[in-house]
Chain A
Amino acid sequence: MTIHRTPTPITATARALHETATGHGRADAAELVSKPRRGRHGGMIVAQVFLILLTIGFLAPVVWALLSAFKPANDIIRAPLSFDPTTFTLDNYTAMFEDVPIGSGFVNTGIVLLVKGTITLFCAPLAAYAFAKYDFRGKNLIFGAVLVTLMLPTIVLIIPLLLEMKQLGWVNTYQALILPGAVDAFAIFWMRQVIAAVPDELLDAARVDGCGEFGIFWRVVLPVIRPGIAGLAVLTLMNIYNDFVWPVVIASSDARATLQVVLSTLAQNITGNRIGADYATVTGELLAASSVALIPLLVLFIALQRHFINGILAGSVKG
Chain B
Amino acid sequence: MSTLIAPRAKRPIITPARKRPMTAARAKRGLAPYLFVAPFVAIFLAFSIYPLVFTARLSFTNWRGSGAAEWVGWDNYTYLLGNSGFWGSLANSGVLWLLIIPAQLVIALLAAVLLDNAKLRLRSIYRIAFIVPFVTPLVAIAQIWVVAFDQNYGAVNSVLNLVGIPDIGWLTTSEWSKPTLALLFIWKTTGFIVIILLSGLQSIDSSVYEAAELDGSSRLRTLWSITVPLLRRTIMFAVVLQTLAVFQMFAEPFVVTQGGPYNSTTTAGYYLYNHITRGDLGTGAANSFLLVIIVMALSLVFVRLLRAKD
Contact = CB atoms under 8 A, between A and B. Distances in A.
Interface of A: 3-4, 7-11, 13-15, 17-18, 21-22, 26-27, 29, 31-40, 43, 47-48, 50-52, 54-55, 57-59, 61-62, 64-65, 76-81, 119, 122-124, 126-127, 129-131, 134-136, 139, 142, 145-146, 148-161, 163-164, 179-183, 185, 188, 201, 204-205, 207-208, 212-214, 217, 238, 241-242, 244-245, 259-260, 263-264, 267, 270-271, 279, 283, 286-287, 289-291, 293-294, 297-298, 300-302, 305, 308-309, 312-313, 316-319
B100 interface: no
B103 to A, nearest CB: 12
B153 A159 contact: no
Given A22-B203, A131-B37, 10 more contacts: A14-B208, A51-B114, A61-B141, A61-B148, A62-B144, A64-B144, A80-B148, A80-B154, A156-B52, A267-B143
Contacts of A35: 116-118, 202, 206
Contacts of B284: 159
Contact of B230 (A8, A80, A139, A319): A319
A59 to B, nearest CB: 5
A34 B123 CA distance: 12
Interface residues of B, number: 130
A35 B113 CA distance: 12
B143 A263 contact: yes
Chain B interface mostly: helix
B144 A155 contact: no
Interface of B: 4-8, 28-30, 32-37, 39-41, 43-44, 46-52, 54-55, 58, 107, 110-111, 114-122, 124-148, 150, 153-155, 158-159, 162, 187, 190-192, 195-196, 198-213, 215, 217, 219, 221, 224-226, 229-234, 237, 244, 247-248, 250-251, 254-255, 258, 269, 272-273, 276, 281, 284-285, 288, 291-292, 295-296, 299
Given A39-B119, A293-B137, A160 B153 contact: no
A123 B43 contact: yes
B132 A214 contact: no
A202 B224 CA distance: 40
Chain A interface mostly: helix
B107 to A, nearest CB: 7
Contact of B37 (A127, A264, A302): A127
A9 B247 CA distance: 40
B137 A14 contact: no
B208 A290 contact: no
B146 to A, nearest CB: 7
Nearest to A158: B276
B281 A159 contact: yes
Chain B CB within 10 A, most for which of A149, A151, A154, A309: A151
Given A33-B118, A62-B132, A152-B292, A134 B33 contact: yes
